[in-house]
Structure 1
Amino acid sequence: MKKLLLLSLSSLLVLSSCVSKKEFTALQEKQKETQDLLNSATVKLNSCLADKASASARAKALEEQIADLRKSNENLQVLSASSASSVEKTLESIKEKELKINRLQDALTKKDSVTLALVTSLKREVGINDPDIEVNVEKGVVFISIADKLLFKSGSYNVTSKAKDVLAKVAKVINSKPEFEAMIEGHTDNVSYRKEPLLDNWDLSVKRSTSIIRVLLELGVNPKQLIAAGRAEFVPLVDNDTAENRGKNRRTRVVVLPKIDQFYDMIEKEMKTLSTEN
């Protein structure tokens, strides 16, 4: 541009010596117009360069945003895949736990079914219909409650001959269920008892339990199935406020229950079967 301006000036100097004043003035005006055009073009060029720089900056910013969005999208895809895998594993774990619970419920149902069959067996095979003998189920355990007046004389732990007929029926049921145990549980009223060699109601309740066990052994019951227990006066059926109520509390309970180790073996077997299937 400077060269062009110098050339124009040189031309004017040369021409000024060769042309008239009028022509020189016209050339000056022409040169001024050219200079104005040049200045205008320079301004426009600078404006265009500034616009280009601004556009380049915006383009670069947009490219960076696009790169960030692509990276975020990739992270989201990875996260989505990870979340889906986590959810799938959680569902599998829940299904596995539900299956285990169902297995345990099946085992408990089998136990309850056996218990129900035992009650039916007691009521049908033994034919116990005496009001002083009760058969019931509490929390999955079968109880045979026998009033002491059928088993012992007052203050005694010697089993009566009449009691042996009742105990023969109980022995029949226990013998038919070798997978069960029978706890013979003695109960007294709250009247204090002390007669040599017994010291108190605890001794009396336990001694009555062992006396019944000996009769059951004579009737062929497996001793491994029998458990002796005494509760003294501390688990009464009713208040010991009348002679009749005290008579109700003096009783012997035969608690028929599945062998705990066998029951847990059954559950363990179910769990092993479940693990093998998985």
Structure 2
Amino acid sequence: MNKKTMVLPLLAACLLATGCASKKDLVNCQTENKELTRNYQDAKEQLAASKARVVSLEEQLAAQKELLAAQKKAYASLQNSLDKSLTNASQNNISIEKLVDQINESNQYIRHLVEVKSKSDSLNMVLTNNLTRSLSREEMKEVDVQVLKGVVYISLADNMLYRSGSYEINDRAAETLSKIAKIIKDYKDYDVLIEGNTDNVPVNASAASMKNIRNNWDLSCLRASSVVQALQNQYGVDPKRLTAGGRGEYNPVTNNSSDVARQRNRRTQIIITPKLDQFMDLIDKAPDAE
């Protein structure tokens, strides 16, 4: 065998080994790329959740600032009353001791109102935290939870709740509604309003699923009613605490200029509020004089 004949097999073996190594490197790179992509997606979702939390905290801070401003205004009014009373005290023989007692009673009542408001805010915060912790990351993509002026708003996308072009609850919504129902049942002193909302696209009355539905008013009311009945019949929520209502296309969160915007407007809100009569009883019941 001559030298030229021996070199060719060796060269072929080298090329084959180089090809195998490159293919292995490519597979490793693809695997690493997939892992990095997953990590990047997780980071995006965590960032979105953190931003939502920041917005909620900013809203709570704004509410506390409003409360502080109201307290300052009440204090200024009391101070003004005191100044006027002191000015007229000598002329009208008003007892300074009695005036001080009245001011102390007023201050005590203001403290009572602040305590009531703080208690309500604390309960709402606990309710919101319990709800968000019970929902999965996937559910949180289609469920928005906010506290605005002492009221908890849970907004659910219509494509998560209903069958396409219908007001019937779909199977995919069952797990999420069951979690929300558990929170509602845990907070028995709260009333629940289910509010349906649509975009501004007219209802296709000729569609079989839209039979007897005249317009978006009908559709929004029927969707809210479907959620109310599911909470009552499937998850055992006391119907005396539930109210169903529809706002049609007239309560949008954004304009209807695009498919994405219209999708945001098609939503159902579960609005949880302290029972008004009980809250007013707390306010009306002045604390005992010290």
How far is the alpha carbon of 1:225 from its aligned partner?
Answer: 1.3
| Pairs within 5 Å for 1:131-210 | 131-193=141-203, 195=205, 196-210=211-225
Deviations 1:3-41 (A, max 9, x none): xxxxxxxxxxxxxxxxxxxxxxxxxxxxxxxxxxxxxxx
Q: Equivalent of 2:129, from 120, 141, 144?
A: 120
Q: Equivalent of 2:101, from 76, 92, 95?
A: 92
Q: Partner of 2:266 in structure 1?
A: 250
Matches of 1:234 and 1:123 in 2, distance apart? Answer: 28
Give the letter aligned to residue 91 of structure 1.
V
Matches of 1:247 and 1:81 in 2, distance apart? Answer: 69
How far is the alpha carbon of 1:234 from its aligned partner?
Answer: 0.9
Q: Equivalent of 1:221, from 237, 250, 261?
A: 237
How far is the alpha carbon of 1:245 from its aligned partner?
Answer: 0.8
* Matched positions, count: 196
How far is the alpha carbon of 1:240 from its aligned partner?
Answer: 0.2
Is 1:183–1:256's contact at 8 Å kept on the other side of the alignment?
yes
TM-score, normalised relative to structure 2: 0.63
Give the letter aligned to residue 271 of structure 2.
V
How far is the alpha carbon of 1:87 from its aligned partner?
Answer: 3.8
| Pairs within 5 Å for 1:42-81 | none
Q: Partner of 2:37 in structure 1?
A: none
CA separation of 1:256 and 1:80: change in aligned 2, threshold 3 A:
closer
Where 1:95 maps in the other structure, the secondary structure is: helix
Q: Partner of 1:277 in structure 2?
A: 289
How far is the alpha carbon of 1:265 from its aligned partner?
Answer: 2.1
Q: Partner of 1:75 in structure 2?
A: none
Deviations 1:74-111 (A, max 9, x none): xxxxx986667444433332222111111111111111
Is 1:180–1:225's contact at 8 Å kept on the other side of the alignment?
yes
Matches of 1:80 and 1:97 in 2, distance apart? Answer: 19
Q: Partner of 1:5 in structure 2?
A: none
CA separation of 1:166 and 1:109: change in aligned 2, threshold 3 A:
same
Q: Partner of 1:212 in structure 2?
A: 227
Q: Partner of 1:236 in structure 2?
A: 252
Matched, 1:263 2:279: yes
Matches of 2:155 and 2:227 in 1, distance apart? Answer: 13
Where 2:140 maps in the other structure, the secondary structure is: coil
Where 1:173 maps in the other structure, the secondary structure is: helix
Structure 1: give runs of 5+ residues left out of the alignment.
1-78
TM-score, normalised relative to structure 1: 0.66
Matches of 1:114 and 1:265 in 2, distance apart? Answer: 17
Matches of 1:210 and 1:155 in 2, distance apart? Answer: 16
Matches of 1:139 and 1:81 in 2, distance apart? Answer: 45
Is 2:105–2:289's contact at 8 Å kept on the other side of the alignment?
no
Q: Partner of 2:110 in structure 1?
A: 101
Is 1:194–1:201's contact at 8 Å kept on the other side of the alignment?
no
CA separation of 1:154 and 1:80: change in aligned 2, threshold 3 A:
closer
How far is the alpha carbon of 1:179 from its aligned partner?
Answer: 0.8
Instruction: Provide the aligned C-alpha RMSD in A.
Output: 2.0
Question: % of aligned pairs identical?
Answer: 37
How far is the alpha carbon of 1:194 from its aligned partner?
Answer: 5.2
State which structure, 1 or 2, has the greater radius of gyration over its C-alpha atoms.
Answer: 1
Give the letter aligned to residue 126 of structure 2.
A
